[in-house]
Amino acid sequence: MNKKTNLAKKKTPISASVIENSDLSEDLYRHFYYTLGRDQVNKSQRYLYQALALTIRDRLVAKCRATNQHRETTPHKQVAYLSLEFLMGRALNNAILNLDLAPQVTQALTHYGSELEQVAAAEHDAGLGNGGLGRLAACFLDSCATLKLPVVGYGLRYEYGMFNQSLEQGRQIEQPDHWLHEGHPWEIAAPEQSQRVKFFGHVEVYKDKNGREHRVWVNTQDVLAVPYDVPIPGYRNDVVNRLRLWKSEATEEFDLSEFNAGSYPEAVAKKNQAEQITMVLYPNDASENGKELRLRQQYFLSSATLQDIIAKWVKQYGEDFHNFPKFHVFQLNDTHPSIAVAELMRILLDDYQLDWDKAWQITSSTMAYTNHTLLPEALEKWPVRLFERLLPRLLEIIYEINARFLQQVATCWPGDTQKQRDMSLIEEGPEPKVRMAYLAIVGSYSVNGVAALHTELLTNGLFKDFYALWPERFNNKTNGVTPRRWLSHCNPKLANLINQQIGDEWVSDFSKVNALRAKFDNKSLHKQWQQVKLDNKQALVDLVKRETGVEFDATMLFDVQVKRIHEYKRQLLNILHVIHLYERIREGELEGFTPRCVLFGGKAAPGYFMAKLTIRLINHVADAINNDPVAKPYLRVAFLPNYNVTAMETICPATDLSEQISTTGKEASGTGNMKFMMNGALTIGTLDGANIEISEAVGLDNFFLFGAKAEQLTQIREHYNPNEIIANSPNLSRVMGLLESGHFNLFDPDLFQPLINSIRDNHDQWLTAYDFDSYVKAQEDAAALYQDQSAWTQKSILNTAASGMFSSDRTISQYNNDIWQVQAIEFNKAQGERNA
């Protein structure tokens, strides 16, 4: 404790280097005994976790301040990444890894008789997202910090994140996820930087002294947006960026006026209404929510973020916005925050009196839009009537943007009124609607898809008219995942083995993992590679046993499909194949049978009937198989409840075969596919999303490809006759026969009829029956290969070696080179001294 007395004497302010040099054990002790007031190790590890998180946070805060100071003293362009979802998972181990503190932490914990693994398990996942889109945002933040790019994430601090899933008799049960219950030690509130966000009210027109007409949005009901900052550490580079999450609160005068009127309960009720905005994450993945509260969330995030950034601009440069586009980019993660286009216009027009053309020039050279889906049901459209009531001034601005845009359309396609209707930001009909994706395209200088096929389908399908008008706006940015969380952290044994083989530079330059390729046939590497996989599989065996009671066997082939449950992702096709394997076992067709464990995991949106029914079918089939002693040596099936980031950290290192079996043209990219590949899984998949690029990178010899191709789809759908396909396929007939006999629903006749009907429907969008036979064939190839462990291991190594381009570092470099063009943060010496 000597340092502290010295410090007090010298009256030096606490600075980055002081914290860095202070003893981690002492800091942990201080937080445990004083900050938290504990004096013995709580059995739950909870307080030890909290004390450790605060100890690590001190170090992050110091670096975050230095990063901020750098930004403020040497003004550079910066990016605001706007996303309604950030699926962060746990933070502790990631921070320890990126700050390189593992040895010190391990040492400090020995005083408490504890180990990092147990302490880390006390952290609750930050589940502020549904699935791939939210996890992508989290991987991007890690890569931005690692590449030293000045990028700030902006999102919502939902009180309740993604629901917790449990199973009751095979049914999904949703429980609220009150993740903040035990506090969130990583965040720091900054109430002094709160913003006011307007809702309702009406628009008034006034003339200024020069006779110029202006509009004001008045009589509004304002809500306070309070920022909470979460530090985002780069990998061993001293950069710590920020994720700023907004919480909604009532403004003070809300209460005042009501109090004065003597209506205390009404005042409290209004307060609750304001706080509702950030209460809960909408649990729909890849489908529209359509609820007023969701539009409020979108506007709340967009408005608070833009006001925050503009307030800082005005403080620094005054009301001259001329150079604003040289210093700011707003990247919109899907259509969700696209109202930001109209909101930036509103701020510039109404709050700072810019004229339309100037405001539009600034807006349309700072906004950039990422599209994430081709599914029509996911394209957001908001009723004009709702806009009119909730955001009247924004609707006016959208109308004006549209009027000017449609003039351009008319110039480009003279006399083509149908084209104007097709491209209008307002969809006509009995209930006119605002097309949010179109607003985003018209208002952005960059529009990108998230995999090569997806971007191609956007430019020659969904957005082809816009592509004709502005081809230069469109570009592709194939998704990626961070190799820190998805290899170094989640698979330390494989990471160490790779280090031994090729050194450790791959962690921050993942293209270097390609050096493993040369060693794909090294027999001693094979042995170690197999041992690592076996150990990882044993950890998954334990997890599955604990959570489901099902006994997996680590010597069997681990066949895994974990992702949101959705018809387009085709968990149904997978379970039909499981039934096919079961039929083979029942019929004694065991020649060449490779024993396998099939794992499913994923949440269904609470209102998505077919997805929930699919979960029930999986569980009923699993029960039948797991309780049949004849099947036991050959086949085991489990549905792991509550799939989330932390579960995936145990699952992907243990997987042999990664199921990426969506209907071609439906999965924009996928990122689960990349996590599995990095960890040495082989993929069985369709030519959809990033699977195409994965198969090209690793070669089709090392990938189990099946199913219809994108260019065949129109033709297939025209003449689609699944009943004929079933009749002509002995395997599929047999599977449908067992399913339709009620074998899996003896006490509940007709339970699965809706699923059966969907397979047999000529309009089945998902083409389940069409792809079944080729899927079975690809599964047979995989099973046969698995029996030759040496051949399998070669391909496993080749998959990891070829996964270099699926790092989100590569993705973010491309965003920066092609879209953002911001400078990496370089701490200069003077700065270092200032902080010391």
Ligand X SMILES: *Cc1c(COP(=O)(O)O)cnc(C)c1O
Q: Which is nearer to ligand X, 135 or 636 (CB)?
A: 135
Residues found in the chain: 836
Annotated catalytic, 563?
A: yes
CA distances from 786 to 536, 772, 793 (A): 17, 21, 9
Q: Residue 596 has what DSSP assignment?
A: E
Q: Is 648 in the site for ligand X (CB under 6 A)?
A: yes
Annotated catalytic, 209?
A: no
Q: Is 449 in the site for ligand X (CB under 6 A)?
A: no
Single out the residue of 145, 367, 645, 677 in contact with ligand X (rule: CB under 6 A).
645
Candidate list 198, 563, 580, 603, residue with the active-site label:
563
Q: Is 170 in the site for ligand X (CB under 6 A)?
A: no
Q: Which is nearer to ligand X, 619 or 642 (CB)?
A: 642
Q: Is 537 in the site for ligand X (CB under 6 A)?
A: no
Single out the residue of 231, 337, 670, 707 in contact with ligand X (rule: CB under 6 A).
670
User: C-alpha angle with apex 668: 667 to 672, nearest 5 degrees?
Assistant: 70
Give me the half-sphere count of Cα atoms (radius 13 Å) on the Cβ side of residue 264: 0
CA distances from 833 to 66, 357, 830 (A): 11, 45, 5
Cα torsion angle, 189, 194, 195, 199, sign: positive
Closest separation between CB of residue 132 and ligand X, Å? 3
Looking at residues 728 to 747 of the shown chain, list those that interact with ligand X (rule: CB under 6 A). Answer: none
DSSP 637-668: EEEESS--HHHHHHHGGG-SEEEE-PPTTT-S
Q: Strand 657-660's sheet: what is its strand order? A: 635-640, 596-601, 557-562, 657-660, 682-685, 704-705
Stretch that binds ligand X, among 230-238, 246-254, 664-672, 819-827 (CB under 6 A): 664-672
Looking at residues 274 to 313 of the shown chain, list those that interact with ligand X (rule: CB under 6 A). Answer: none
Q: Which residues contact 22 (CB under 8 A, 6 or more apart)?
A: 3
Q: Is 131 in the site for ligand X (CB under 6 A)?
A: yes
CA distances from 158 to 265, 274, 303, 735 (A): 25, 13, 17, 44
CA distances from 703 to 629, 779, 782, 822 (A): 33, 11, 9, 37
Q: Which is nearer to ligand X, 396 or 667 (CB)?
A: 667
Binding letters toward ligand X, positions 691-730, x by CB under 6 A? ----------------------------------------
Q: Is 672 in the site for ligand X (CB under 6 A)?
A: yes
Q: Which is nearer to ligand X, 250 or 565 (CB)?
A: 565
Stretch that binds ligand X, among 24-32, 299-307, 370-378, 644-652 (CB under 6 A): 644-652
Tell me the two tokens of residue 711.
């260019």
Q: Is 132 in the site for ligand X (CB under 6 A)?
A: yes
Q: Which is nearer to ligand X, 258 or 688 (CB)?
A: 688
Amino acid identity for residue 803 in this structure: S
Q: Is 480 in the site for ligand X (CB under 6 A)?
A: no
Closest separation between CB of residue 768 and ligand X, Å? 18
Shortest CA distance to 598 belongs to which of 651, 674, 546, 653?
A: 651
Looking at residues 563 to 592 of the shown chain, list those that interact with ligand X (rule: CB under 6 A). Answer: 563-564
Annotated catalytic, 322?
A: no
Single out the residue of 57, 70, 135, 616 in contact with ligand X (rule: CB under 6 A).
135
Q: Which is nearer to ligand X, 133 or 738 (CB)?
A: 133
CA distances from 585 to 579, 594, 621, 725 (A): 10, 11, 14, 24
Q: Which is nearer to ligand X, 135 or 620 (CB)?
A: 135
Annotated catalytic, 546?
A: no
Closest separation between CB of residue 661 and ligand X, Å? 10
Q: Which is nearer to ligand X, 624 or 694 (CB)?
A: 694
Annotated catalytic, 526?
A: no
Residue 383 host element (H or E): strand 381-383
Annotated catalytic, 533?
A: no
Beta strand pairing call for 381-383 and 433-435: antiparallel
Please say whether the beta carbons of 403 and 483 come within 8 A.
no
Q: Which residues contact 171 (CB under 8 A, 6 or more apart)?
A: 612, 615, 616, 619
Size of the site for ligand X (CB under 6 A): 12
Q: Which residues are catalytic?
A: 372, 563-564, 569, 671, 675
Contact positions vs ligand X (CB under 6 A): 131-132, 135, 563-564, 644-645, 648, 670-672, 675
